[in-house]
Amino acid sequence: MVHLSRVKRGKQAQKPQHEQDQGEGAATPYVYGTHYATEELPEHVMSEREMPADVALRLIKDELSLDGNPLLNLASFVTTYMEDEAQNLMTEAMSKNFIDFEEYPQTAHIQNRCINMIANLLNAPITEGNSDQDCLGTSTIGSSEAIMLATLAMKKRWQNKRKAEGKDWTRPNIVMNSAVQVCWEKAARYFDVEEKYVYCTDTRYVIDPKTAVDMVDENTIGICAIMGTTYTGQYEDVKGINDLLKAKNIDCPIHVDAASGGFVAPFVRPELEWDFRLEKVVSINVSGHKYGLVYPGVGWVFWRSPEYLPEELIFNVNYLGSNQATFTLNFSKGASHVIGQYYQLIRLGKHGYRSIMQNLTKVSDYLADDLKKLGFLIMSDGNGRGLPLVAFRMKPDDDRLYDEFALAHVLRQRGWIIPAYTMAPHSNQLKMMRVVLREDFTMHRCNILLEDIKAALKSLEEMDAEMIQKYTLHLRAHSDRKLPQQHAHYKNEKHSLQGRTGKTHSVC
């Protein structure tokens, strides 16, 4: 039965005077009825007057809706999901300046707990009876800052040794894989360290231990080994490098870049020796905001003992009310991400992390098997021998009209962000794609992705050469219009690997 209402008119429809609005400001203006809806948002100069909070919120949210969906962003290793409880904790801590130990002592204690828990995962050595020689570490903004600090420590230690021996200390170098993340190039360039690359080939995408050790000379400050490269997710043979250095009696430290693998390998392949169990490994960095399962950005860096972190890099300050030692590139930073890391460590425990990483490994192996059935060549290592990701490329075919970049563009229309890029230098310009599995990538979503890949391949197969050319040119032009433009003054730089070789820095 429908209730019928009588329509009131005239005096009957008028409210008593005391019920009517008591002035213009009584009701909050409707956002799209304000003059702001007909004006362009400020881009270059601040406006003279304030904007109502609800209007500013709504207009910015409207613009951000044009960004991609984080759940469908399979390009990034960075965490895109945390529980509401963790988010609430982090929100409450946003106003805390982490560096202010005097004001926020419990936050400092929480950082120390995180350092101890993570160092334990990395099998940090503990010296009995002399805590001054135990492993030490610190939180960072991310692995980029951690790598900068580790590079500085290796360089300063090498310089001190050379000066003590009365030898030239002005030409340091570092040995690393050409597939390193760009932050290693930055560290070497910013701190005047020569880069010595072990180049990948079209069949080997990780560092070759023998070649790396053969490159070491009296000016080498260290070798970088990667636990989970950004290109293929493979673990480099840290033990192989360690054993060769020992066999040849070469005094050269190893820094392990475990930005991605540091929270994966201990739970999926605990028997794998890559960490402080190896004598030559003197420092390790891990990213809390990758498989540490915290929103960006937080990283961690550890040294085997104070011997590997020269004292002259440490600064003691007391102007925040207490004496404290600091080794960071920045000073102030928010405390929320350290607290978020602690939440995850105690919320999940070893069993929780192990369950998540094993689930991701299982789903990534399933995805790799199905992509192989579709005719793709798999470039990553499965069964827990690398990160839970799938790097793949198309089989060589001169008759095929489309490539990995075209496939990536078609998938982008469906919302999936899957990067297509070229492999590191000296790899025969191999084109490839990569799907990074994060904790929220379930088997159900994996099957949806596979169905969309099949549909994308079918649509590309049905296009002729002219249509594919028009299609990809249109999509790339559309993509370029959406992205911020590179500064014209710097777009032709030639000093980076990308500038010199065309290497693509894959998204991490």
Q: Which CATH number characterizes residue 464's domain?
A: 3.90.1150.160
Note whether 326 and 370 are same-domain residues: no
| Whether the bond into 297 is cis, omega within 30 of 0 | yes
Q: What is the pLDDT of residue 104?
A: 77
Pairing of strands 173-177, 136-140: unpaired
Note whether 283 and 419 are same-domain residues: no
Last residue of a domain, one of 343, 367, 385: 343
Last residue of a domain, one of 343, 374, 392: 343
Give the CATH number of the domain where residue 120 resides: 3.40.640.10
Note whether 332 and 373 are same-domain residues: no
Is residue 3 one of the residues assigned to a domain?
Answer: no
Note whether 173 and 270 are same-domain residues: yes
Q: What is the pLDDT of residue 463?
A: 87
Is residue 187 one of the residues assigned to a domain?
Answer: yes
What's the angle, vertex CA 96, arms to CA 91 and CA 102, rounded to 5?
Answer: 150
Output the DSSP codes for 377-402.
EE-S--TTSB-SEEEEEEPP-TT---
Q: What is the pLDDT of residue 498?
A: 61
- What ranges in 432-464 are assigned the alpha helix state H? 443-461
Q: Residue 421: beta bridge partners?
A: 432
HSE-CB of 118 using CA atoms within 13 angstroms = 33
Is residue 376 one of the residues assigned to a domain?
Answer: yes
Note whether 335 and 384 are same-domain residues: no
| Residues of the chain above pLDDT 70, percent | 85
Q: What is the pLDDT of residue 486?
A: 65
In this structure, which amino acid lies at residue 413? Q
Q: Please state, in angstroms and rounded to a whole number, the distance separating the CA atoms of residues 91 and 337.
A: 10
Question: What is the DSSP code (8-state) at residue 342?
Answer: H
Q: What is the pLDDT of residue 18?
A: 54
Note whether 247 and 206 are same-domain residues: yes
| CB-CB contact of 338 with 295 (8 Å) | no
How many domains does the chain fold into? 2
Which tokens sit at 316?
């003691």
Last residue of a domain, one of 298, 316, 343: 343
Domain interval for residue 127:
87-343
Note whether 176 and 129 are same-domain residues: yes
Is residue 350 one of the residues assigned to a domain?
Answer: no
Q: What is the pLDDT of residue 17?
A: 55
Instruction: For the chain, list residues with pLDDT below 50.
Output: 505-508
Is residue 141 one of the residues assigned to a domain?
Answer: yes
Note whether 329 and 419 are same-domain residues: no
Is residue 232 one of the residues assigned to a domain?
Answer: yes
Note whether 339 and 366 are same-domain residues: no
Nearest to 295 by CA among 145, 65, 76: 76
Note whether 171 and 309 are same-domain residues: yes
| CB-CB contact of 408 with 418 (8 Å) | yes
Note whether 139 and 271 are same-domain residues: yes
Is residue 486 one of the residues assigned to a domain?
Answer: no
Q: Please state, in angstroms and rounded to a whole number, the distance separating the CA atoms of residues 161 and 446.
A: 53
Query: What three-state secondary structure class fits 98?
Result: coil
Q: Please state, in angstroms and rounded to a whole number, the distance separating the CA atoms of residues 335 and 347.
A: 18
Note whether 209 and 309 are same-domain residues: yes
Q: What is the pLDDT of residue 4?
A: 79
Is residue 35 one of the residues assigned to a domain?
Answer: no
Q: What is the pLDDT of residue 507?
A: 47
